[in-house]
Chain A
Amino acid sequence: MSRILKDPRLLLLIAIVAAVITGLGADQMNLYYRGVIIDIGIAIILAVSLNLINGHTGQFSLGHAGFMSVGAYVSAMITLAAQKSMGAEVLAWMFLPALLVGGLVAALAGLLVGIPSLRLRGDYLAIVTLGFGEIIRVIFQNVEAAGGASGLSGIPRMTGLTWTFILAAIAVYVVGCLVNSTYGRGFIAVHDDEVAASSMGLNPTRYKVTAFVIGAFFAGIAGGLFAHHKTTINPQVFDFMKSFEVVVMVILGGMGRTGGVILAAIILTLAPEFLRAVAEYRMIIYALLIIFLMIARPQGLFHFGRKRKPLTH
């Protein structure tokens, strides 16, 4: 029984079925709760995809909001164009392809960021990804078609519970299976010791770029969901603070720990809703939490016992 439960394909199936069932009941749900739950789903996709880059592969990206914005803008521009030229019934069929194209363009951006990363490590990489995020933002601010500084509005509200959680389940499944596959052990090897990994015949550059591309793809998908959930986007939404929020989720959950990261994504998305009274202290609390965690519990808050399963079964 426990063996069957450990099969990730089965877990994926269960998650998708659960997402569909919850989605069916979504119409009766309070709009506010539904919004928050969709936020959680998007946060899970973002955190799990960043976890592949920052956690499993041990790179440090501060530009996740940049990839997210690429997906958000591209998919929103597609659906806005579809809304203008076609009817509502066609629009419904455009949503998933639009998300997919957004994710692919974001993956292309990830490839662009990943390529210079082959010469950089640690803190340099952090700064370059931060720089890329800022450049993407400056570009969107200046592109007429993307609405400039005021951004895009009137995006059709198409993100529902069902698709958000199906996509979140797929993101968790893909990242989880990838890292636990024979090929994917390379990500962890690069994380643990790049020099040792390359002397064992692995190509660290390829792993890093792969991590960036896959991470950026899912960030783009999350961005698309975000755009069709909030219906308005502008460049300021995707600033450094947005990237940092995702980084906090990954650190809090324990870098490279999928379960912990999902838990952190849920908690950190819910926390501001409960802590409206102390909203002005939110970032101060985040900052203190990060400093405290790094000094006292660098392995993350939700990490107990051994770090990884041994290779042998």
Chain B
Amino acid sequence: MNEISQQLVNGLALGSVYALIAIGYTMVYGVLRFINFAHGDVFMLGSFAGFYLAPQIAKWFPLPSWGGWVAVMAATMIICAIIGIVIELLAYRPLRSRPKLTVLITAIGVSLLIQYTCQHQAFFGASQKAFPPLLPSGNFSLGGLSFNTTQFVVLGVTLVLLAALTFIVKKTRIGMAMRAVSHNSAAASLMGISNSFIISFTFGLGSALAGAGGILYGMTYTGIEPLMGVSVGLKAFVAAVLGGIGNLPGAALGGLLLGIVETYAGGMSGVSTYRDGIAFAILILILIFKPTGLLGSKQIEKV
């Protein structure tokens, strides 16, 4: 019993990271209707931003400490937001009116460019790096489950960020504009909403969350490398489809579910070696049987 519930905690921690990245996929899909393949790499850049920022920030705040951790998180999220906005500006904006497939291929190109540039010795190098500890370690139990500080913080931060995101999307003017662009971008621009600004904002917001996910991933798994965005990013995309692409609570739900399923499968003998295939099997099943995802609504294609 104890092991099963402990796996649940591990699964939730992994699922939180998936959820934070999945939201970026879903938001971009909502406004632009395309899969931003490079999103997983923004997540990777977030991890490395944290890795390189931590020694700098340690000059002002002693690390590991709570204050230093907040500073690293904030700085990383800002950096990732800027990266996301720049990617959109340089690579996707010139293709705004082109077929979706063209944009998709470009996104794959951007993703590979980031991966292979970062792998080069001049940048991060291909080898794995140890993520520095940002928080004082500790263990405590809650309702019979024992957490370490990192797991607790990962879950807490994810919930706080999701709440903040829901507030932005539902209650603010810019969130209303985002929903309007997602619903009908042509009509939104006729109402005086700048599509370009909203798209930039969406990329910034999604990339900031991916950056936060990168830090949380680094804190949980400690080993980071330039290609880690590929599999984590793809699985987060699966999570977004599982929850219903374009649907924010769906992305969070899908992320958590996928994290839990993967963690349990990884613990089972006989299944564990197939762990990396599970996400794709889920993806194929969901696309065959319920393409709108768990929480998505059916869309009718107009000609």
Q: Given A141-B273, A195-B303, are A130 and B234 neighbors across the interface (CB < 8 Å)? A: yes
B112 touching A287, Cβ below 8 Å: yes
Q: How far is the CB of A50 from chain B (nearest CB, A)?
A: 13
Residue from B108, B237, B238 in contact with A244 in the complex, judged by beta carbons closer than 8 Å: B108
A284 touching B117, Cβ below 8 Å: yes
B112 touching A283, Cβ below 8 Å: yes
A128 touching B287, Cβ below 8 Å: yes
Q: How far is the CB of A205 from chain B (nearest CB, A)?
A: 13
A283 touching B287, Cβ below 8 Å: no
Bound state CA distance, A131 and B280, in angstroms?
Answer: 5
Bound state CA distance, A141 and B57, in angstroms?
Answer: 43
B288 touching A287, Cβ below 8 Å: no
- Size category of the B interface is 35 or more
Bound state CA distance, A288 and B115, in angstroms?
Answer: 12
B91 touching A291, Cβ below 8 Å: yes
Q: How far is the CB of B228 from chain A (nearest CB, A)?
A: 14
Residue from A128, A247, A283, A284 in contact with B283 in the complex, judged by beta carbons closer than 8 Å: A128
Which of A34-42, A70-78, A117-125, A221-229 makes up part of the contact surface? A117-125
B98 touching A123, Cβ below 8 Å: no
Majority SS of interface residues in chain A?
A: helix
Residue from B109, B238, B291 in contact with A294 in the complex, judged by beta carbons closer than 8 Å: B109
Residues of A within 8 A of B (CB): 58, 60, 62, 116, 119-120, 122-124, 126-128, 130-132, 134-135, 138-139, 141-142, 195, 240, 244, 247, 251, 280-281, 283-284, 286-291, 294-295, 298
Residues of B within 8 A of A (CB): 34-35, 91, 94-95, 98, 100-106, 108-110, 112-113, 115-117, 120, 230, 234, 237-238, 241, 273-274, 276-277, 279-281, 283-284, 287-288, 291, 301, 303
23 contacts between A and B (CB under 8 A): A60-B101, A116-B288, A120-B291, A122-B101, A123-B35, A127-B35, A128-B283, A128-B287, A134-B280, A135-B281, A138-B277, A139-B277, A283-B112, A283-B115, A284-B116, A284-B117, A287-B109, A287-B116, A290-B105, A294-B103, A294-B109, A295-B95, A298-B98
